[in-house]
């Protein structure tokens, strides 16, 4: 043990040296950028400059595709700004723009993006979502107050998944397996709508006494993690060569049971590997670069983005995207936990940078690409009403379950309404998971049509829920959540503590008029319980 401690101190002192730390950080940046670029381009990792054969028209297609993406990006930014002026979510304008382009013949013929490039756009946007999600996650709060967020997140998510699965099976008349996929896509809460609203409430100290915004953010974290992980694991089990015959009912159980069992074991192993890998990479980014380095923000932003791209897209290409997703999320959350303690200003710089990337690049392209999948010529009013009915059933079940679960919590009825509304918007993960399902189901003729129907339902859920619940959440939240000024508490607590220590009588009416802090509330309930 003494030798291990001595070795640890030696390595710590060596890498903590300013020059050594700077050189190591630079090497890590170049390695992570190399891996992420190779992953994005889909090239050979060991020999990316290998000759791909004679030059064809693919070069012209690449130049044309880049030009098309540039035009779509500019148009998407203007659509997002216009939506913001109209007091609706920016993603709504970008989605509507994509739908318009898809359903006008002249535009549809020009704005064509190659499938691989479109997939990379969606995955880079997912990387941005995961990074912002991890940076916004308060790990210490979730650890200390895990019961309420985990209970609400899992119970309401599982209840809505069951309801939507049954509804889509009977109403949309799709297979049971695809009904589960439909439920997993439709029930995932949108961070793009809920997180900005909760941050706004925190800045105004609305609901801060009972930590309502923090609890909602933790609930969304549990809900999204559960739904996305189950979706990725289930998709890797269903859409494999070993289960292709199973989907078409052409082989018996004995012939496909072994591949399915193997796939399940591999997924379990990759999830564990993702947790360990995310923890190790987070520990590395704690130490490289040093917090007092001259270009700490640039190094942290570059390392976090490049490593997350390599993790999420790399594992997606090898068909085990769940491990990369978990590793990137743990990496971002661990970085936020450490960077907040060593220099809060530098963490805010990292957060604002990725917020800018999301607003100006990822959001417009992601939702325009989603809108380009929406062909109105294949829609009927009957189909629209059936999809909306499935969505409404899920939202109703989620609302009822949230109100029931929160009855035993410390929040009042008005705060329960805010928590319920915060779990109803749908947008962000639907824009990635629905097209991913469409791509994976393409080789399976029995499932391709059902995946296209699920895509339409996902787009309708975004069009219906994102603007409505964004407006309702901000309006109801400002009315139902109580503003609390933390500066008023220390004086009252000081006077109360002084009177209690001196044995003086405390006027109960005065003390009752002072709002209790969350720690006082928790200690009071513990005393009453025991």
User: Angle formed by the axes of helices 381-405 and 445-480, to 10°?
Assistant: 50
CA distances (Å), origin 517, targets 461, 490, 520, 521: 39, 10, 5, 6
User: Of residues 239 and 450, which shows the higher confidence score?
Assistant: 450
Mean pLDDT is lowest, of 89-98, 276-285, 331-340, 509-518, for: 509-518
Helix (H) or strand (E) holding 346: helix 344-357
Mean pLDDT is lowest, of 257-266, 403-412, 510-519, for: 510-519
The DSSP letter of residue 104 is S
Q: How far apart are CA 464 and CA 404, in angstroms?
A: 25
Q: What is the pLDDT of residues 183-206, one digit of tens each?
A: 999 999 988 888 888 888 888 888
Residue 522 confidence (pLDDT) above 50:
no
- Count CB atoms within 10 A of the CB of residue 333: 21
What is the chain's mean pLDDT, rounded?
Answer: 81
Q: Do residues 229 and 325 lie in contact, with contact meaning Cβ atoms separated by under 8 Å?
A: yes
- Dihedral sign for Cα atoms in the order 297, 298, 299, 302: positive
Residue 400 confidence (pLDDT) above 60:
yes
Q: What value does the CA radius of gyration of the chain take, rounded to a whole number of Å?
A: 25
Backbone φ and ψ of 439, nearest 5°: -70, -45
Helix (H) or strand (E) holding 213: helix 212-238
Q: How far apart are CA 420 and CA 399, in angstroms?
A: 5
- Count CB atoms within 10 A of the CB of residue 130: 25
What pLDDT sits at residue 495?
Answer: 40
Domains detected in the chain = 2-45+72-477 (1.20.1530.20), 489-529 (no CATH)
Q: What is the pLDDT of residues 130-182, one digit of tens each?
A: 998 888 888 888 888 888 899 999 999 999 999 999 999 999 999 999 999 99
Residue ranges of alpha helices (H) inside 239-293 are: 241-247, 253-287
Given the structure tokens 């923000």, which residue do they identify? 297
289: preceding bond cis by omega (within 30 degrees): yes
Q: How far apart are CA 336 and CA 132, in angstroms?
A: 10
Residue 413 confidence (pLDDT) above 80:
yes
Q: How far apart are CA 361 and CA 128, in angstroms?
A: 10
Percent over 70 (pLDDT), the chain: 82
Q: What is the pLDDT of residues 88-97, one digit of tens each?
A: 889 889 999 9
Q: How far apart are CA 114 and CA 118, in angstroms?
A: 6
User: Of residues 407 and 491, which shows the higher confidence score?
Assistant: 407
Q: Do residues 394 and 167 lie in contact, with contact meaning Cβ atoms separated by under 8 Å?
A: yes
Q: How far apart are CA 196 and CA 193, in angstroms?
A: 6
What pLDDT sits at residue 518?
Answer: 42
Structure tokens at 83: 């939506």
pLDDT band of residue 127 (cuts 50, 70, 90) is very high
Percent over 90 (pLDDT), the chain: 36
What pLDDT sits at residue 279?
Answer: 92
- Count CB atoms within 10 A of the CB of residue 239: 19
19: preceding bond cis by omega (within 30 degrees): no
Three-state SS at 189? coil
What pLDDT sits at residue 493?
Answer: 40
CA distances (Å), origin 225, targets 133, 149, 211, 222, 450: 10, 12, 21, 5, 25
What pLDDT sits at residue 1?
Answer: 61
Residue 65 confidence (pLDDT) above 50:
yes
pLDDT band of residue 526 (cuts 50, 70, 90) is very low
pLDDT band of residue 503 (cuts 50, 70, 90) is very low
Q: CA angle 507-508-513, nearest 5°?
A: 105
Helix (H) or strand (E) holding 95: helix 90-102
- The mean per-residue pLDDT over the stretch 227-256 comes to 63
Q: What is the pLDDT of residues 276-323, one digit of tens each?
A: 999 999 999 988 888 877 788 888 999 999 999 999 998 888 877 888
Residue 107 confidence (pLDDT) above 70:
yes
Structure tokens at 250: 């052409």
Q: Do residues 470 and 88 lie in contact, with contact meaning Cβ atoms separated by under 8 Å?
A: yes
Residue 40 confidence (pLDDT) above 50:
yes
Closest listed residue to residue 387, CA positions, set 426, 438, 333: 426
Structure tokens at 146: 């895990």
Residue ranges of alpha helices (H) inside 86-175 are: 90-102, 105-110, 115-136, 139-144, 147-171
pLDDT band of residue 485 (cuts 50, 70, 90) is low
Q: How far apart are CA 428 and CA 193, in angstroms?
A: 8
- pTM (predicted TM-score): 0.81
DSSP string over 66-95 = HHHHHHHHHHHHHHHHHHHHTTS-HHHHHH
3-state secondary structure 388-450: HHHHHHHHHHHHHHHHHHHHHCCCCHHHHHHHHHHCCCCCCCHHHHHHHHHHHHCCCHHHHHH
What pLDDT sits at residue 392?
Answer: 95
Q: How far apart are CA 264 and CA 113, in angstroms?
A: 34
Residue 395 confidence (pLDDT) above 70:
yes
Q: What is the pLDDT of residues 424-461, one digit of tens each?
A: 999 888 988 999 899 888 888 888 899 999 999 999 99
DSSP string over 451-466 = HHHHHHHHHHHHHHHH
- Dihedral sign for Cα atoms in the order 434, 440, 442, 448: negative
User: Angle formed by the axes of helices 212-238 and 430-441, to 10°?
Assistant: 0
| Helices and strands (H, E) in the chain, number of each type | 24, 0
Q: Which residues contact 240 (CB under 8 A, 6 or more apart)?
A: 259, 263, 319
Structure tokens at 430: 């639907």
């Amino acid at each position: 043990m003494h030798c291990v401690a001595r070795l640890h101190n030696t390595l710590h002192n060596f890498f903590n040296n300013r020059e050594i730390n700077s050189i190591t950080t630079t090497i890590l940046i170049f390695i992570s950028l190399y891996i992420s670029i190779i992953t994005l381009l889909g090239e050979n990792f060991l020999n990316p400059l290998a000759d791909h054969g004679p030059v064809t028209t693919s070069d012209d297609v690449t130049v044309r595709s880049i030009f098309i993406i540039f035009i779509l990006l500019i148009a998407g930014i203007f659509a997002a700004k216009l939506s913001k002026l109209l007091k609706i979510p920016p993603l709504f304008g970008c989605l509507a723009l994509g739908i318009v382009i898809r359903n006008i013949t002249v535009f549809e013929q020009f704005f064509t993006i190659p499938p691989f490039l479109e997939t990379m756009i969606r995955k880079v946007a997912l990387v941005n979502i995961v990074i912002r999600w991890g940076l916004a996650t308060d790990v210490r709060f979730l650890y200390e107050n895990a019961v309420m967020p985990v209970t609400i997140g899992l119970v309401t998510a599982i209840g809505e998944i069951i309801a939507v699965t049954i509804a889509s099976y009977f109403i949309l008349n799709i297979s049971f397996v695809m009904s589960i996929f439909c439920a997993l896509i439709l029930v995932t809460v949108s961070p793009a709508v809920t997180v900005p609203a909760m941050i706004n409430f925190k800045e105004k100290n609305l609901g801060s006494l009972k930590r309502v915004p923090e609890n909602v953010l933790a609930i969304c974290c549990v809900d999204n993690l559960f739904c996305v992980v189950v979706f990725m694991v289930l998709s890797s089990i269903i859409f494999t060569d070993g289960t292709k015959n199973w989907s078409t009912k052409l082989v018996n159980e004995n012939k496909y049971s072994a591949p399915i069992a193997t796939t399940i074991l591999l997924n379990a192993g990759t999830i564990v590997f993702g947790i360990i890998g995310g923890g190790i990479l987070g520990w590395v980014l704690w130490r490289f670069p040093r917090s007092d380095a001259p270009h700490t923000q640039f190094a942290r932003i570059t390392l976090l983005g490049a490593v997350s791209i390599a993790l999420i897209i790399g594992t997606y290409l090898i068909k085990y995207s769940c491990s990369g997703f978990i590793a990137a999320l743990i990496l971002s959350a661990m970085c936020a936990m450490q960077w907040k303690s060593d220099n809060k200003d530098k963490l805010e710089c990292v957060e604002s940078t990725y917020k800018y990337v999301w607003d100006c690049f990822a959001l417009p392209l992601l939702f325009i690409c989603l809108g380009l999948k929406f062909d109105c010529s294949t829609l009927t009013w009957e189909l629209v009403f059936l999809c909306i009915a499935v969505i409404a059933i899920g939202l109703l079940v989620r609302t009822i379950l949230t109100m029931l679960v929160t009855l035993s919590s410390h929040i009042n009825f008005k705060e329960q309404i805010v928590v319920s509304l915060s779990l109803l918007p749908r947008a962000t993960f639907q824009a990635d998971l629905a097209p991913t399902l469409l791509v994976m189901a393409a080789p399976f003729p029995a499932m391709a049509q059902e995946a296209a129907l699920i895509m339409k339902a996902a787009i309708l859920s975004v069009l219906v829920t994102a603007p409505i619940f964004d407006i309702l959440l901000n309006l109801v939240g400002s009315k139902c959540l109580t503003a609390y000024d933390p500066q008023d508490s220390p004086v009252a607590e000081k006077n109360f503590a002084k009177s209690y220590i001196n044995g003086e009588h405390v006027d109960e009416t005065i003390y009752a008029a002072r709002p209790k802090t969350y720690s006082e509330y928790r200690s009071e309930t513990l005393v009453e319980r025991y």
